[in-house]
Chain A
């Protein structure tokens, strides 16, 4: 029985960028899931604040390293966007440079993050305030580490290969995930470092 052929799609390519790629949707799905995790963690922080009239229950966490981290992340959007554009243009040379830059950024961010942990000024097991701060920072750090590792691997892959055009949408996705790491940090930073100060009556 001859099949009733309506269309022939042999000319279609085997990679796409952005929302035309299934992988993009998958990455978006995981960003949404992890973003919701952050949202619930922030909600839990404010819920606990609401239950405790004398919030915060300890010293404020240090502003120096956290603000440095924030500035670094915001500035990293410049090389990040550059790398994304290089990937969409299928420019291997610039993608290699971009991935090396982003790897350096990620490494620096991790170093600053370690310093940040040492200036939280309250332990996770002191009280619920400490518990909330540590979990918020810990969750974000997990994402930072994951994307850093992925960036390192992609940078290595960009030199070692095997390479075909399908790798470029993956670079774009990875850098989109870095956007998420940066974007998610803003509300967490405000919640952790500014909300306790505002609750205690500090003026900005």
Chain B
């Protein structure tokens, strides 16, 4: 007996997707899933592909801007004792370069790729919590704008991308510079945490029927592990940066040793996050690279279970390394030894993944297309970086090498080789699916040569500079140190690397201006996303796919098996069980809405205002609460509401 006030509608008689012909179904779906027109529609969009693209484009712009800063840094350092950039400018430039690259490019870029690809790879129409997804993008966007605004106002953070107090604290960090840094953390981590929760729920609950956990694509596993790393590591840095803001703004003493605080507390809280952060950047990248390797080897990845276990181990181990950033700070030796051993250990899972790739390539039927060249760069550059990392894991050796140019050498080798190269490979690989066009190959070849040679020269020279005693974060150096030649080579290498990105940008823009002629599956890849038109329609799959293998397109020639029964007169998505992906629920999807945008703007105003005074946090809570009510308030369903109610219904 159902209570009187609840709407009781049995929608079992409403027509479903398999009840109409395919062409009619496409028309219905186009209609049901359409956006409002114009700019308003753009602001209302909660389509994961649209939001993913925005993340990718915005992150790419940050890459180019921060890269331009690096070009300027290398102009200053190309010759000794130059005064092109004075110390204050240089300190802002190098801090912005690192900060923007790590927080505004690398993490958001992999987030954007996850947001775009994961629902397609698992056969879903949406990412979980699509409105939150849109909200997260706008928060990220404003955070980035705030940081660049501070730069152009001569108020950029200037204490390095890890912003150690007391240099970044209230006594020695004048102006708003370090406040901008600390609040940027809040912006970007709020966005990242939201995305992480969305990805976890998407992967666990929205997979196509039949896609049990052991049939998930490797990138989906990467995304899942990465999202867990985000959830478990970011609260640390959010708390740490909040402590810094409080110290600077309202006089708390978390990092003030004169009143019981501790300078190293910041380092622990920061590095507890920032070491896993590099795995947040690295794991999705090797996931992407795994797809490239598998596709062009034309055989399923060798050792799939081992690769998945390696990803999970990397994720878990990454939490046990952070003190290796603090070996020189005078912590007890026993602790240092533990972290040295764990830092060495993490090389094993990464090595395992690389060996599995080699086995796949060697036993495959290799078609050497342009994306594979970037896998070669990965091996050349990342392995070099990883090995220098093993050197840094040794405590006595680290005490000589840390804080010298060996560090920038190591981090750039692993980031350029281990993250950027796979991202470029992924761009060449998925560009035809995203846009319907193939990127230009000759231009890509030139880009690749500049990238690899530039990277090797720049960061190889830096390694040698570190061995020669050059410390990092110096705005200039005396001629008498005999560092001139290596610095010049490093600068030339860096400029070549920069040039490669200019060519990359030209390639992308030029290709986008050409007609869409790419075949649907130019690489004959195996994933579900390759069964869709290029670019995919807003609702992704016309009918929910049914999956019975790890490489569906290779194992099901002919029409893909599908699951029917979803409504097409309202937005609906299929929810499945966590492990076996059995169908469990038809979940209505929210309509496009502008409230996430508005909520993000209110949040941004509160966050920016609270860099100047604490009251906005209190007053701002009121408009924020109102907007959240408007956002979450349930609407009547456009078509008859769902919900059969009563005991028999939810026992299905």
What 1/0 mask marks residues of chain B from 259 to 301 whose CB sits below 8 Å from any chain A CB?
A: 1111001001100100000000000000000000000000000
Report yes or no: A90 in contact with B3, Cβ–Cβ below 8 A: yes
Report B-chain residues with C-beta under 8 Å of the C-beta of A92.
Answer: 3, 5-6
Report yes or no: A12 in contact with B585, Cβ–Cβ below 8 A: yes
What 1/0 mask marks residues of chain B from 195 to 216 whose CB sits below 8 Å from any chain A CB?
A: 0111011001110010000000
Known contacts A1-B22, A92-B3; A8 and B254 CB within 8 A of each other: no
With the chains together, A36 CA to B319 CA distance in Å? 14
Report yes or no: B643 in contact with A9, Cβ–Cβ below 8 A: no
Known contacts A33-B193, A47-B262, A92-B3; A9 and B565 CB within 8 A of each other: yes
B460 to chain A, nearest CB (A): 39
Q: Is A3 an interface residue (CB 8 A)?
A: yes
**Quick check: which of A18-26, A74-82, A113-121, A196-204 contacts chain B, the rest being far away?**
A18-26
With the chains together, A126 CA to B621 CA distance in Å? 27
Q: Is B636 an interface residue (CB 8 A)?
A: yes
Q: Is B365 an interface residue (CB 8 A)?
A: no
Known contacts A15-B585, A93-B3, A164-B7; A125 and B625 CB within 8 A of each other: no
With the chains together, A41 CA to B239 CA distance in Å? 7
Report yes or no: B546 in contact with A6, Cβ–Cβ below 8 A: yes
Report yes or no: B12 in contact with A11, Cβ–Cβ below 8 A: yes
Number of interface residues of A (CB under 8 A): 66
Point out which of A5, A10, A134, A135 has the most chain B C-beta atoms below 10 A from its C-beta: A10
Which residues 166-224 of B sit at the A interface, judged by CB distance below 8 A?
193, 196-198, 200-201, 204-206, 209
What 1/0 mask marks residues of chain A from 94 to 113 whose CB sits below 8 Å from any chain B CB?
A: 00000000000000000000
With the chains together, A90 CA to B7 CA distance in Å? 12
Report yes or no: A9 in contact with B587, Cβ–Cβ below 8 A: no
The chain B residue with its CB closest to the CB of A10 is B565
Known contacts A14-B586, A14-B587, A33-B235; A1 and B252 CB within 8 A of each other: no
The chain A residue with its CB closest to the CB of B558 is A4
Report yes or no: B235 in contact with A48, Cβ–Cβ below 8 A: no
A4 to chain B, nearest CB (A): 5
Number of interface residues of B (CB under 8 A): 87
B253 to chain A, nearest CB (A): 4
With the chains together, A157 CA to B238 CA distance in Å? 33
Q: Is B68 an interface residue (CB 8 A)?
A: no
Q: Is B72 an interface residue (CB 8 A)?
A: no
Q: Is A183 an interface residue (CB 8 A)?
A: no
B48 to chain A, nearest CB (A): 14
With the chains together, A30 CA to B235 CA distance in Å? 11
The chain A residue with its CB closest to the CB of B644 is A13
Q: Is A128 an interface residue (CB 8 A)?
A: yes
B623 to chain A, nearest CB (A): 13
Known contacts A4-B561, A164-B6; A149 and B586 CB within 8 A of each other: no
Report yes or no: A11 in contact with B259, Cβ–Cβ below 8 A: no
Which residues 1-18 of B sit at the A interface, judged by CB distance below 8 A?
2-3, 5-7, 11-12, 16, 18
What 1/0 mask marks residues of chain A from 22 to 39 whose CB sits below 8 Å from any chain B CB?
A: 100110011011101101
Which residues 134-166 of A sit at the B interface, judged by CB distance below 8 A?
134-135, 145, 149, 153, 157, 161-166
Which residues 160-197 of A sit at the B interface, judged by CB distance below 8 A?
161-167
Report yes or no: A29 in contact with B231, Cβ–Cβ below 8 A: yes
With the chains together, A136 CA to B265 CA distance in Å? 16
With the chains together, A191 CA to B621 CA distance in Å? 28
Q: Is A131 an interface residue (CB 8 A)?
A: yes
Report yes or no: A165 in contact with B197, Cβ–Cβ below 8 A: no
With the chains together, A181 CA to B564 CA distance in Å? 42
Q: Which of A17, A32, A128, A157 contacts B256 (CB 8 A)?
A: A128
Known contacts A4-B562, A6-B562; A125 and B629 CB within 8 A of each other: no
What 1/0 mask marks residues of chain B from 557 to 575 whose CB sits below 8 Å from any chain A CB?
A: 0111111111000001011
Q: Is B481 an interface residue (CB 8 A)?
A: no
B646 to chain A, nearest CB (A): 7
Q: Is B641 an interface residue (CB 8 A)?
A: yes
With the chains together, A56 CA to B132 CA distance in Å? 42
Q: Is B634 an interface residue (CB 8 A)?
A: yes
Point out which of B252, B572, B634 has the most chain A C-beta atoms below 10 A from its C-beta: B252
Report yes or no: B262 in contact with A12, Cβ–Cβ below 8 A: no
Point out which of A7, A41, A149 has the most chain B C-beta atoms below 10 A from its C-beta: A7
Known contacts A13-B650, A22-B575, A48-B261; A6 and B268 CB within 8 A of each other: no
Task: Show 28 A/B contacts (Cβ-Cβ < 8 Å), sorted by A.
Answer: A1-B22, A3-B543, A5-B563, A5-B564, A7-B546, A7-B565, A9-B564, A10-B12, A12-B574, A12-B583, A13-B652, A15-B650, A16-B575, A22-B201, A30-B197, A33-B235, A47-B265, A57-B260, A90-B2, A93-B3, A124-B251, A130-B252, A131-B261, A157-B634, A162-B634, A163-B6, A164-B641, A164-B642
Please list the residues of chain A having a beta carbon within 8 angstroms of any beta carbon in chain B. Answer: 1-17, 19-22, 25-26, 29-30, 32-34, 36-37, 39-41, 44, 47-48, 51-52, 55, 57, 90-93, 124-132, 134-135, 145, 149, 153, 157, 161-167
Please list the residues of chain B having a beta carbon within 8 angstroms of any beta carbon in chain A. Answer: 2-3, 5-7, 11-12, 16, 18, 22, 128-129, 193, 196-198, 200-201, 204-206, 209, 231-232, 234-236, 238-239, 242-243, 246-247, 250-254, 256, 259-262, 265, 268-269, 272, 542-543, 546, 558-566, 572, 574-575, 577-578, 583-588, 621, 625, 629, 633-637, 641-646, 649-650, 652
- Identify the 8 closest CB pairs spanning chains A and B, nearest first: A125-B251, A10-B565, A128-B260, A131-B252, A165-B643, A29-B197, A14-B642, A128-B261
